[in-house]
Structure 1
Amino acid sequence: MENNLSIGTLTASPGEKIQGMLPIPHTEIEVPVTLVNGTGDGKTVLITSGIHSCEYVGIEAAIQLAGELDPENVNGSLILIHPVNVPGFESRYPTLMPGDNKNLNRVFPGSQEGTPADRVAHFFEYSLYSQIDFYIDLHCGEIFEDLTPYVYYVGAADETVSRAARQAALHVDVPYMVKSTATTGAYNYAGVLGIPSILLERGCAGRFTQEEVNADKKDVINILKHLGVLPGAPELRHRPVDLTDLVYLMPKRHGLWYPDVKVGELIAKGQRLGEVRDYFGKTLDTYHAEYDGVVLYQSATLWTDDFCELITYGKFAETTGMTR
């Protein structure tokens, strides 16, 4: 019995895969969960998607992985949730949890006495984090964002935890990697608790392609091989470049956003990034880059307000030697 993998009402014995809808305590929410309990000893890895409800590349990748992973090939165990924010996913309600309008990735550690988003976060801490050794959170740009692929790893954690997360992130086939110092996200808070964790960003704008889904799946499998959960050696691909000092640029005033740059574009200090205008075409504010760097994501909608960043860009770490 001690080798069983149990989450709430679901239990998988060694060598067994179990799938089902799992009720989140003290809510009306049920989430699709797959438990893969391997035949050999190893780490327990949590893989989530759809914490932000309309980020479809990660959601589809997790669904396909849940169907394809075989417990006969697993050393340790896997917990997959695909997706987490089911109410938002089913209502096509981007980013937020319907009913309380909270961003689930901003409420950790949550509360059993709070709103639905708070209670989901509380469930993570007390039902999931207590039994995992590593966490992979699959994201992409929301329906209102353009994004170039990159990966975060936890930074607000013990150095050994952050180092283990970074080593896993090095096996992700994306151009850039960022050490996050946030604490309130699902993967961030796991890092605070001592669990090495990463967040993978790939895809955007309410779309997904099988090519993007396959890339996500390959990255997850590479990490699982790196952790010894799956057999074989990870494929060695190019190493993500370190970015630092990210600027999450919010608009000074609400209005219409006209960017001058594209995601993935290298930018120079002082370069014009775009402007916000009013309904009559009058320029309200113009924005310029604070430093040389690269654009990671930006708003893809004409209207802009306090809901999302105009643009987010990062600086190349000095060790990379990269410039515009």
Structure 2
Amino acid sequence: MKKEISICNITAKPDQKAQGFINILDTETKMPITIINGKKEGKTVLITAGVHGCEYPGIRTAIELAKEINPQDISGNIIIVHVVNTAGFEKRRAAIMPEDNKNILRVFPGDGNGTISDKIAHVITNELISKVDYYFDIHGGDLHEELIPHLYYPAKADEEVVNKCIEIAKHFNVAYYAPSNNINGTFTSAAINKNIPSLLIERGGCGLCKEEEVNLYKDDILNILSVLNVIKYERCSKEFSPKEIKKAIYLDARVDGCWTCFVKPGQAIKKGEKLGEISDYFGNIIDTYYAEFDSTVLYNTVAYYVSKGNSLVAYGRS
């Protein structure tokens, strides 16, 4: 007989959907979550959105899928966290958790005795990731970013896990899939520490929540759930056949100043091409950035001001 699923204070019985907020340990912070316990046996899939609170297409995708998916149509289970970083979402703070100024994406697997970001990561790792077979962390360009749809797989995980991740990546409607060498991200920590195939997907940006991007995101997630035999679904359309990025540059600002970018996501660029420049408050150029090799732009920062260490442009080649 199929079992019920409990996460913190929320329980879903077989053929049932349960929704509510889970508490983050001893804090007042809560996360909205939906547990969909399918009618039949199958894989358990975790989907998180809003690790960065202003990446709106992923958040809306999570909210709408949680509402629309019927447990009777499911083989297995789906756990959806609608917004991980609720404070960042409500306060419109890009990239960080306002209470401790940390990037939640970078503190996994977390620490139950740490600051709020560490505790959130600890709960996701131990209460959510530990219960699933696959994990998808859905993102999008933040308030200051624009991008071409792409995703990242955990390159530092065991070979078998990496291979599973790459096979799943090929089913997404994104232009590129790239290796991540981080070991402390949401999806990378899940793959390395728990041996769970995991991906981080990027779609949207600039603080926009376009309906067409949300629809494409939903189509992608439902298609992947179909690939995993969790739900029956026929893809609406597919714009891209994803290519693997073999070499990438993630360019950060070397100085503070006013940033002007000369390239766009998806643009093919040549070695030596000027990518952008930083000037001071008087319009004097103080730093210039050039491409190191022929490649394609994955994302860029659209914010006019950047601080030293901020991301500027990412580009890569197959």
**Fold match, TM over 0.5?**
yes
1:281 paired with 2:283, answer yes
Contact 2:254-2:309 within 8 A present in 1 as well: no
Partner Cα distance (2:32, 2:118) in 1: 19
- Structure 2 residue aligned with 1:322: none
Distance change in 2, residues 1:236/1:204 (3 Å): closer
1:161 deviation in Å?
0.8
AA in 2 matched with 1:129: I
Q: Secondary structure at the match of 1:280?
A: coil
Partner Cα distance (1:14, 1:308) in 2: 46
Q: Secondary structure at the match of 2:246?
A: strand
Deviations 1:103-143 (A, max 9, x none): 00000111011000000111111111211000011100110
Partner Cα distance (1:306, 1:118) in 2: 25
Partner Cα distance (1:62, 1:163) in 2: 26
- Structure 2 residue aligned with 1:202: 203
Please point out which of 294, 308, 312 is paired with 1:310. Answer: 312
Equivalence map 1:153-302=2 (5 Å): 153-192=153-192, 193-232=194-233, 237=238, 238-302=240-304
More displaced, 194-203 or 235-244? 235-244
Contact 1:75-1:228 within 8 A present in 2 as well: yes
Contact 2:107-2:184 within 8 A present in 1 as well: yes
Contact 1:226-1:233 within 8 A present in 2 as well: no
Contact 2:148-2:299 within 8 A present in 1 as well: yes
More displaced, 24-33 or 3-12? 24-33
Partner Cα distance (2:65, 2:43) in 1: 17
1:234 deviation in Å?
5.7
Contact 1:226-1:234 within 8 A present in 2 as well: no
Q: Which runs of 5+ in 2 are unaligned?
A: none
Distance change in 2, residues 1:101/1:161 (3 Å): same
- Structure 2 residue aligned with 1:319: none
- Structure 2 residue aligned with 1:148: 148
- Structure 2 residue aligned with 1:320: none
Q: Which runs of 5+ in 1 are unaligned?
A: 317-324
Equivalence map 1:84-99=2 (5 Å): 84-99=84-99
1:235 deviation in Å?
6.8
Moved over 6 A (4+): none
More displaced, 35-44 or 256-265? 256-265
Deviations 1:240-291 (A, max 9, x none): 0111222111111111111111111111111111111111111111111011
1:26 deviation in Å?
2.0
AA in 2 matched with 1:298: N
Give TM-score, length-normalised by structure 1: 0.94
Deviations 1:37-58 (A, max 9, x none): 0011111000010000100000
Q: Secondary structure at the match of 1:61?
A: helix
More displaced, 254-263 or 3-12? 254-263
AA in 1 matched with 2:107: V
- Structure 2 residue aligned with 1:113: 113
Deviations 1:132-164 (A, max 9, x none): 000011100110111111111221111111111
Deviations 1:204-223 (A, max 9, x none): 01111110000000100111
Q: Secondary structure at the match of 2:311?
A: coil
How big is the alpha-carbon RMSD for the aligned residues of Structure 1 and Structure 2? 1.4
Contact 1:26-1:112 within 8 A present in 2 as well: no
Contact 2:219-2:236 within 8 A present in 1 as well: no
Partner Cα distance (1:168, 1:147) in 2: 21
Give TM-score, length-normalised by structure 2: 0.96
Partner Cα distance (1:7, 1:246) in 2: 38
Partner Cα distance (1:113, 1:245) in 2: 38
Partner Cα distance (1:3, 1:155) in 2: 34
Q: Number of residue pairs matched?
A: 316
1:76 deviation in Å?
0.4
Partner Cα distance (1:307, 1:38) in 2: 45
1:308 deviation in Å?
2.5
